Amino acid sequence: MSAFIGKYADELIKTAKYIATPGKGILAADESTGTIGKRLASINVENIESNRQALREMLFTAPGALPFLSGVILFEETLYQKTADGKPFVDLLLENSVIPGIKVDKGTIEIAGTNGETTTQGLDSLGARCQQYYNAGARFAKWRAVLKIGPCEPSELSIVQNAQGLARYALICQENGLVPIVEPEILTDGSHDIAKCAAVTEKVLAAVYKALNDHHVLLEGTLLKPNMVTPGSDSPKVSPEVIAEYTVTALRRTVPPAVPGIVFLSGGQSEEEATLNLNAMNKLEVLKPWTLSFSFGRALQQSTIKKWVGKKENVEAAQATFLVRCKANSEATLGKYAGGNTDAAASESLYVKGYKY
Amino acid sequence: MASATLLKSSFLPKKTDWFGARPTANRQVTVSLTVRASSYADELVKTAKTVASPGRGILAMDESNATCGKRLASIGLENTEANRQAYRTLLVTAPGLGNYVSGAILFEETLYQSTVDGKKMVDVLVEQSIVPGIKVDKGLVPLAGSNDESWCQGLDGLASRCAAYYQQGARFAKWRTVVSIPNGPSALAVKEAAWGLARYAAIAQDNGLVPIVEPEILLDGEHGIDRTFEVAQKVWAEVFFYLAENNVLFEGILLKPSMVTPGAECKERATPEQVASYTLKLLHRRIPPAVPGIMFLSGGQSEVEATLNLNAMNQGPNPWHVSFSYARALQNTCLKTWGGRPENVKAAQDALLTRAKANSLAQLGKYTGEGESAEAKEGMYVKNYSY
């Protein structure tokens, strides 16, 4: 029953610790081809490989941005892509001390017999895929499980299913040299209050850690990517301080100190909201034995993409915008963000009901 | 914004309650409870924090009448209520005990007893700044269908018992279940131990008592320290999962684990540093930081061993208070020194205070072990020990 100590144990612990470095965080750039298509469509850019490559190159070469990142999650296609000059993205990132990660799940499907609850696919031949990704330079992985809040949700079945899936994924990753980011996202959809979200988050995280422990996952070689604890999307908003207290309380009740870092997802929060909430959590005067950082997709890229609109002449300005968000979130991990970004796009809510990746 | 109305009492400990030197911030924001609310929530959190205060730990003096009888017999005394009363009086009136002891676990008889001077035991304790606690389980019995293992009884009527004990002045409770490595342990026994603890904890909190959660992994056996570690990881994973399922408020509990050591009959012994290293790793992998205090049981270690091991665990900052809840490891020399004679009471109390102070220093990581007696180093392991 002890944790699985395979040949990669030391490396996993080192990598996880590095990713959790205070002042740094993760850029989630692992949108699948379908999902990135939606982003590109929103700025009237065609969803072809060269455009996807151009977007990612713009982000990875943004001057001054990479020092604020400890990792970038990639989609499979991107893992094997290069810059326009022919340098593999993986090499570019590693040269700048940014660890490449890889999305390894194969999306969610509905669990028959439930009220639209889902489980995540991707365990078949996961081991072999992880090995390939490791050889290609990836050192961490990500798998997104999704739960929702409703009158009878999340059901015991969905909690157990998703927790088991995460645990199996995590162990297989560790067997093959990848630090698993464990992501049990509880969607904000609904009219529930923050207390309800907290109760559900605590229940789900308790089940997740039980499953990880039962599966012998080495906690020191993992990271957690949870939702922040917030009111439902249809409920009145609350201040970052309230979100911080509920979130940190929930984490203190469920996440053992062996876990080196917690990297929040942004869900549908606006760029600024996500940063302010993260900042409030790090300002909280209470003992947090893990670092609290970010693993943001939309909340890092939204205004950057809007500025770019696919045009080469906008790249510099877009990269400057990207740098602003990276720096802001880096400060937030240290509780030092002063706030006050005046960009309208930064305050735009990114919430989409029933959001599907 | 609905923010202001959501803010009532926070579960996050205040700056003074944890280790670290950060500047005070203006903390006016507080948070209301989630599902795990009982009317006693605030008091539970406060009591748990008080018991888990730096430099202090628990004196376990909750031996049942039968077990107390064994102690008295070892110094040639008859197991009468008067003798039990005399002994407990000696313990609770030791001057300044409250400097090193934050809580005392009592047996039911003692909770309702007075000292030989006619003062209520609980009142004496409270005056000493020691929180009175009470053993609420009804002992171990054979677990049907297991591999000759035990389970802990006591859930029936527990709610009303706890309520009555609260009225009498108790503010924390204790329930001791055991897991045996030579017998497996079987998955059944581990599950039952964890589930029983979780149910007890929820009921205790509902009635105002901070539950001490004690799944003792018995020392008996020839197994090495790695095996103990393996079993402990499983047991604690189950315990915490069931505590969460029972909606127990983690900020209002205390843990009483056994340290991770080799079995008593294992030929390979472990140094205090090894015990500390294994035990701390276990704690880091299983104990959420919301739990305020971890009060180790001594389980048959000698008085000095128990102090050295505790000291080794406190050589660096920990996310929770790491302390002691010792019975034999605090009382052994004291009992022998007393021998049942009134003229020895002061010397016996001094012996108790010596051990209490040593463990207090160990909690702070400052124990040096100077001047320990041979008596204190003598092991107290008893094979197949039953309370």
For A220, which residue in chain B has the nearest alpha carbon? Answer: B285
Rounded distance, CA B218 to CA B182, Å?
Answer: 9
Is B285 within 8 Å of A213 when comparing Cβ atoms? yes
Rounded distance, CA B9 to CA A350, Å?
Answer: 32
Rounded distance, CA A222 to CA A212, Å?
Answer: 10
Q: Residue A347's pLDDT is what?
A: 75
With tokens 């559900």, the residue in question is A200
Q: Please identify among residues 308-367 of chain B the ones whose CB lies closer than 8 Å to any CB of chain A.
A: 319
Number of H helices, E strands in chain B: 14, 10
From residue B362, alpha-carbon distances to B61, B212, B300 in Å are 20, 21, 18
Q: How far is B286 from chain A (nearest CA, A)?
A: 6
A353 falls in which pLDDT band (50, 70, 90)? confident
A-chain CB neighbours of B14 within 8 Å are 285
Tokens, residue B121: 């035991």
B284 interface with A at CB cutoff 8 Å? yes
Q: What is the pLDDT of residues A132-187, one digit of tens each?
A: 999 999 999 999 999 999 999 999 999 999 999 999 999 999 999 999 999 999 99
Nearest to B6 among A194, A199, A206 (CB): A194
Q: Residue B20's pLDDT is what?
A: 40
Rounded distance, CA A232 to CA A209, Å?
Answer: 24
Q: Please identify among residues 284-313 of chain A the ones whose CB lies closer than 8 Å to any CB of chain B.
A: 284-289
Nearest to A257 among B7, B240, B284 (CB): B284
Q: Which residues pair with A21 in a beta bridge?
A: none
Residue A246, C-beta contacts closer than 8 angstroms, at least 6 positions apart: A194, A195, A197, A198, A229, B31, B34
Q: Which residues pair with B114 in a beta bridge?
A: B120
Tokens, residue B331: 């009382």
| DSSP conformation letters of A29-98 | E---HHHHHHHHHHTT----HHHHHHHHHHHHT-TTTGGGEEEEEE-HHHHT-B-TTS-BHHHHHHHTT-
Q: Are the C-beta atoms of residues A231 and A305 closer than 8 Å to each other?
A: no
B-chain CB neighbours of A2 within 8 Å are 226, 229-230, 233
Q: What residues of A are labeled active site? A: 183, 225
Q: How far is A198 from chain B (nearest CA, A)?
A: 7
Q: Residue B386's pLDDT is what?
A: 52
Q: Residue B25's pLDDT is what?
A: 41
Q: Residue A345's pLDDT is what?
A: 66
The residue that leads in pLDDT, B20 or A67, is A67
pTM, to two decimals:
0.90
Q: Which residues pair with A181 in a beta bridge?
A: A142, A223
Q: What are phi and psi of A297, to 5 degrees?
A: -105, -85
Residue A328, C-beta contacts closer than 8 angstroms, at least 6 positions apart: A275, A337, A341
Q: How far is B64 from chain A (nearest CA, A)?
A: 34
Nearest to B244 among A202, A248, A255 (CB): A202
One-letter-per-residue 3-state SS of A299-319: HHHHHHHHHHCCCHHHHHHHH
For A244, which residue in chain B has the nearest alpha carbon? Answer: B31
Q: How far is A116 from chain B (nearest CA, A)?
A: 24
Q: What are phi and psi of B56, to 5 degrees?
A: -135, 160
Q: What is the pLDDT of residues B52-104, one digit of tens each?
A: 999 999 999 999 999 999 999 999 999 999 999 999 999 999 999 999 999 99
Secondary structure (3-state) at A339: coil
B16 interface with A at CB cutoff 8 Å? no
Largest CA distance in chain A: 57
For B248, which residue in chain A has the nearest alpha carbon? Answer: A253
| DSSP conformation letters of B219-269 | --SS--HHHHHHHHHHHHHHHHHHHHHTT--GGG-EE-PPP----TT-SS-
Half-sphere exposure of A128 (CA within 13 A, CB side): 2
A5 interface with B at CB cutoff 8 Å? no
Q: Are the C-beta atoms of residues B380 and B302 closer than 8 Å to each other?
A: yes
From residue B71, alpha-carbon distances to A206, B76, B78, B147 in Å are 42, 9, 10, 30
Q: Are the C-beta atoms of residues B356 and B60 closer than 8 Å to each other?
A: no
Q: What residues of B are labeled active site? A: 214, 256
For B24, which residue in chain A has the nearest alpha carbon? Answer: A285
Q: Residue B29's pLDDT is what?
A: 35
Q: Residue B379's pLDDT is what?
A: 67
For A197, which residue in chain B has the nearest alpha carbon? Answer: B34
Q: How far is A125 from chain B (nearest CA, A)?
A: 29
For B287, which residue in chain A has the nearest alpha carbon? Answer: A256
Nearest to B12 among A202, A255, A286 (CB): A286
Q: What is the pLDDT of residues A95-137, one digit of tens each?
A: 999 999 999 999 999 999 999 999 999 999 999 999 999 999 9
Secondary structure (3-state) at B363: helix
Half-sphere exposure of B323 (CA within 13 A, CB side): 32
Nearest to B241 by CA among A182, A332, A208: A208
Calculate Rg over the CA atoms of chain A. Answer: 19
Q: How far is A221 from chain B (nearest CA, A)?
A: 11
Q: Please identify among residues 204-243 of chain B the ones whose CB lies closer than 8 Å to any CB of chain A.
A: 226, 229-231, 233-234, 237, 240-241
From first to last of the 387 residues of chain B, give the pLDDT tens digit: 445 445 455 677 665 544 443 333 433 333 333 445 578 999 999 999 999 999 999 999 999 999 999 999 999 999 999 999 999 999 999 999 999 999 999 999 999 999 999 999 999 999 999 999 999 999 999 999 999 999 999 999 999 999 999 999 999 999 999 999 999 999 999 999 999 999 999 999 999 999 999 999 999 999 999 999 999 999 999 999 999 999 999 999 999 999 999 999 999 999 999 999 999 999 999 999 999 999 999 988 899 999 999 999 999 999 999 999 999 999 999 999 999 999 999 999 999 999 999 999 999 999 998 767 766 776 667 665 654
B-chain CB neighbours of A283 within 8 Å are 25
Q: What is the pLDDT of residues A31-49, one digit of tens each?
A: 999 999 999 999 999 999 9
Q: Residue A293's pLDDT is what?
A: 98
Tokens, residue B241: 């999962």
Is B31 within 8 Å of A285 when comparing Cβ atoms? no
Rounded distance, CA B116 to CA A16, Å?
Answer: 60
Computed from CA positions of residues A163, B229, B295, B365, in that sequence, does the dihedral angle turn out positive or negative?
negative
From residue B321, alpha-carbon distances to B18, B316, B317 in Å are 8, 11, 9
Residue type at B279? T
CA torsion, ordered B361, B363, B365, B366, to nearest 10 deg: 0
Q: What is the helix (H) or strand (E) element at residue A149, kind and residue range?
A: none
Q: Residue A2's pLDDT is what?
A: 75
* Long-range interactions of B348-354: CB distance < 8 A, separation 24+: B348/B90, B349/B90, B349/B93, B349/B94, B349/B95, B352/B90, B352/B91, B352/B94, B352/B97, B353/B94, B353/B95, B353/B96, B353/B97, B353/B100
Is A219 within 8 Å of B285 when comparing Cβ atoms? yes
B-chain CB neighbours of A254 within 8 Å are 244, 288
